[in-house]
Amino acid sequence: MKKLKLDSIVNNPWLLLGAFIYFALSGFQTTKTSIDGPKFVYKVDFEQEKQQIMQVIENESAAFWKKDFDAYADLWVHEDYIRTLGWWAAGGVTVVEGWEERCKRTKSHMENSPAENPTATDVRRANINLRIFHDVAWLTFDQYGEDTGDPTMDMPGLSRETRILEKHNGEWKIVYVGWLLEG
């Protein structure tokens, strides 16, 4: 059997995402497994962390649609491993790898469509499914947006959303955004 090298694992975002999901779903909550030692045990104030995470989600959306790049950028981890994967009828499949590319694309969108979109933040989020660990959280939700008439940055109707966040210096930051705009 061929062994995987550590650098091939670390540099493969799909393998890392799969490992994260496996460990997230396998139960980090157990205190002891056997004489081999303790598993991961994280005690978090779920409601407090949830409030902070949801505020990051709201702030990121508001900054994006208000075309406030600095506020938007402050909510993201600025590393090569961040990802955005999405689909929408006007643009098809979107894949963005790394902060450098995310930064360049978002700045370009904001410069090409500079008018603030005041109604775009009038979204409703439902069916929130949230898991929080010590310094990593993931959530899925349905987002319902209005048709604002902005062909570049509009996301009307139902969008199935996914976020992964990491805690850096006590603050939640986005490392992954996934969205599938229905219709």
Greater pLDDT, 58 or 91? 58
Q: Where are the domains of the chain?
A: 1-41, 46-181
**Residue 55: which pLDDT band, with cuts at 50, 70 and 90?**
very high
> Which tens digit of pLDDT belongs to each residue from 98-135?
999 999 999 998 999 888 877 766 889 999 999 999 89
Q: What are residue 37's DSSP bridge partners?
A: 34
Q: How far apart are CA 139 and CA 91, in angstroms?
A: 24
% of the chain exceeding 70 in pLDDT: 71
Dmax over CA atoms of the chain, in Å, equals 61
CB of 116 closer than 8 Å to CB of 77: no
- The verdict on domain 46-181 having CATH code 3.40.50.410 is no
Nearest to 181 by CA among 151, 152, 150, 145: 145
pLDDT of 34: 34
pLDDT of 40: 52
% of the chain exceeding 90 in pLDDT: 52
Q: Is the pTM of this model over 0.95?
A: no
pLDDT of 35: 40
> Which tens digit of pLDDT belongs to each residue from 166-182?
999 999 999 999 999 88
- Give the rounded distance of the alpha carbon of 166 from its chain centre: 9
